[in-house]
Structure 1
Amino acid sequence: MKLRKAKVTDVSQIQKIINQYAEKKIMLMRSLNEIYDKIQCFYVIEHIGKVTGCCAMNIVWDELAEIKSLVVVPKFCKKGLGTKLIQQCHKEAKKLGVKRVFALTYIPKFFKKFGYKETSREELPHKIWAECIKCPFFPDCNEIAVIKVL
């Protein structure tokens, strides 16, 4: 298995994996346009030419980044791929001078393994809420905000 930066040729596979979970209302759907627009933010794990997991790290504001679309194909869950993806995003964030990273998640336990702490959503920049209107639970958000100081 190989961890690498995503390429435009990965976009359809990334969308398929993300939307597979989005159909279960575990994460937000992503259009091809959204993924193409942020492809430079994505890392993927590839196995025999197929994308088996992905994660994006998006700079939100001064010294703050968001971990988004962290997902692993069900067949490859519980094999440390999510860990590799999030660690790579942390490494990249540090390189870019980011001091804090956050995520909105239904699985805070996963992020807490990496030192994230729960925080109030109101503590985060308002611009992140632009995506919320696409959520099936809007305006009654069920996600938990977690944040980590790098």
Structure 2
Amino acid sequence: MIRKACIADAPIIHKLLAEHAGKGAMLSRSLAEIYQAIRSFYVLEEQGEVLGTVSLQVWWADLAEVRSLVVSERLSGRGCGRQLVQACIDEACQLGLSRLFALTYQEQFFARLGFSLIEKSELPHKIWGDCMKCSKFPDCDEVAMAMRLPPASH
């Protein structure tokens, strides 16, 4: 089941992200940052256990980012990551956004969901604030991918 995160989920979200950040697969986020952004998170819950998460970060009137995507390795290959990203796509459409992007090492995964490679320079400068905290900055090896969203039907 995919649902919006609640305050009680913050510590487990933090643990999931820290495990993957420790492997160099993503940027870490502090527990304080997760609490502050809890309304942007979705969680994947199975039998009462949170086993995955994703966040939708709105950057501008027409642009949002899929970030902090993690799924427990024991659910690998079951489409859980796709379901989490789809929750972000659905919300972005409901909000009336026209473009969604991700900075990722998982190019094929995002391509299967309809994202295409773009130049990082196409993204607004303000998104790079988090990158300054990364040990790989300025030699980032992630790729930028984006997708156009259908017009909102309000």
Quickly name the TM-score band, shorter chain normalised.
over 0.9
1:104 aligns with 2:106: no
Query: Could you tell me the TM-score, scaled by structure 2's length?
Result: 0.95
C-alpha contact (below 8 Å) 1:25/1:136 kept by paired residues: no
What's the % identity of the aligned pairs? 45
CA distance in 1 between partners of 2:73 and 2:30 (Å)? 21
1:84 aligns with 2:87: no
Matched letter for residue 120 of structure 1: E
Structure 1 position 27, deviation (Å): 0.2
Structure 2 unaligned runs (5+)?
Answer: 150-154
Aligned position for 1:40: 39
CA distance in 1 between partners of 2:72 and 2:143 (Å)? 22
Number of equivalenced pairs: 149
Matched letter for residue 42 of structure 1: F
Aligned-residue CA RMSD (Å): 0.7
Structure 2 counterpart SS, 1:58: strand
Aligned position for 1:118: 117
Aligned position for 1:136: 135
CA distance in 1 between partners of 2:113 and 2:138 (Å)? 29
Q: Could you list the runs of 4 or more consecutive aligned residues of structure 1 that deviate by over 3 angstroms after TM superposition?
A: none
Matched letter for residue 122 of structure 2: E
C-alpha contact (below 8 Å) 1:66/1:103 kept by paired residues: yes
CA distance in 1 between partners of 2:97 and 2:69 (Å)? 19
C-alpha contact (below 8 Å) 1:14/1:54 kept by paired residues: yes
Structure 1 counterpart SS, 2:10: helix
Structure 1 unaligned runs (5+)?
Answer: none
Query: Could you tell me the TM-score, scaled by structure 1's length?
Result: 0.97
